[in-house]
Amino acid sequence: MDDTSYLDSSGDKIQELINIATQFYNFHDVDINGKKSELIVINPKLPREDLYIIIGRDKSKVQATDKEIRYLGCYFSSSNSRKRSIKRIKDIIEKFLNPIRRKRITVGHIAYLINHVFIPRVIYVAQLMTLSENEWNLLFTPVIKLVKQICGLSRSYPTSALYHRYILGINNPWDQICANQITAFIYLINSNSLVSRSIMIRCRTAQLRLAIHDNIFEHESESLFLGHQEAKSNLSLHNIIIARKLNIVIQQDYINRTIWAISGGSIPIREIFITHRCLNLL
């Protein structure tokens, strides 16, 4: 039962799945600890007190929670809160830095710990986050300060030099996250799976919300970058934007490319909103 998750479109369907699983576990004389079970409900239509499931032989009642749930090292919640995501990264940074501040370590040690322990951990937790480059630079500032202190460098020393492979060779977290997210995005949209369909729906949703009349994957870069606010709540759009900033253009085949285009009229609606500087109304 460890690390088992149930996903469905309604509470009744989830409860039906759990009841089938409970019968299986009862048949094999396995008990389920309902107290360790957690429930997340997205876009609920019922009052909070009615959002629950019954699980286990003892009929434990699991109430829906607004808090974060940790699953396989990642954190999920019913709402996409940027403040919560930033706090999570800050906590990881502090847990990494606190033991190091009290120890005497070499430059090679700190570079190894950052590249092979800290950054992989952050990338794994942040793979579903939509933080910007500036936000990541601010979050990484305490790490850079400690590195400069260990190296005996002044605070004004160029941070870019620390990233140079022939000076210290620290990996830039933003570069690593971009590579990880773009690679995963391209792999998933080319897979024949429900995940691919879900991502394409999110991309089409972003195209409609931004009033883009042509294919969003090939839309003009300058106009596409103006959708950064929408990208905060749309991981697929976020991945398209950061890929484009790295001069990576994702293209569809000819048939799908024409299907995504919206024809009719002479002046694109988006150009009107851009001209009058009212994109926030979209």
Q: How far apart are CA 228 and CA 245, in angstroms?
A: 12
Domain boundaries along the sequence of the chain: 11-71, 80-178, 190-281
Check whether 276 has a pLDDT greater than 70: no
Check whether 135 has a pLDDT greater than 60: yes
Closest among 108, 109, 110 to 142, alpha carbons compared: 110
pLDDT class of 143 with cuts at 50, 70, 90? very high
pLDDT at residue 11 in the model: 82
267 three-class SS: coil
- Name the burial class of residue 177, with classes exposed (0-12), middle (13-18) and buried (19+) by CB atoms within 10 angstroms of its CB: buried
Q: Could you tell me what percent of the chain has a pLDDT over 90?
A: 41
pLDDT at residue 238 in the model: 96
Residue type, 57: R
| Residues 151-166: tens digit of each pLDDT | 999 999 999 999 998 8
pLDDT at residue 247 in the model: 92
pLDDT at residue 245 in the model: 93
Task: DSSP for 54-89, please give it.
Answer: EETTTTEEEEB-SS-EEETTEEE-SS--HHHHHHHH
Name which residue leads in pLDDT, 173 or 261: 173
Q: What are phi and psi of 105, to 5 degrees?
A: -125, 160
pTM for this prediction: 0.80
| Residues 218-237: tens digit of each pLDDT | 888 988 898 888 899 899 99
pLDDT at residue 141 in the model: 95
Are 154 and 148 contacting, i.e. CB atoms less than 8 angstroms apart?
yes
Q: How far apart are CA 165 and CA 170, in angstroms?
A: 7
pLDDT at residue 34 in the model: 76
Listed range (12-16, 96-100, 131-135) with the worst mean pLDDT:
12-16
pLDDT at residue 270 in the model: 73
pLDDT class of 1 with cuts at 50, 70, 90? low
pLDDT at residue 110 in the model: 93
How many CA atoms are closer than 13 Å to the CA of 166, on its beta-carbon side?
A: 0
| Residues 36-92: tens digit of each pLDDT | 888 888 888 888 888 888 887 778 888 888 888 888 877 788 777 788 889 989 999
Mean pLDDT across the chain: 87
Q: What are phi and psi of 130, to 5 degrees?
A: -120, 40
pLDDT at residue 196 in the model: 92
| Residues 180-193: tens digit of each pLDDT | 999 999 999 999 89
Are 92 and 64 contacting, i.e. CB atoms less than 8 angstroms apart?
no
Q: How far apart are CA 211 and CA 226, in angstroms?
A: 12
Listed range (7-21, 82-96, 112-126) with the worst mean pLDDT:
7-21
- The DSSP output letter for 263 is -
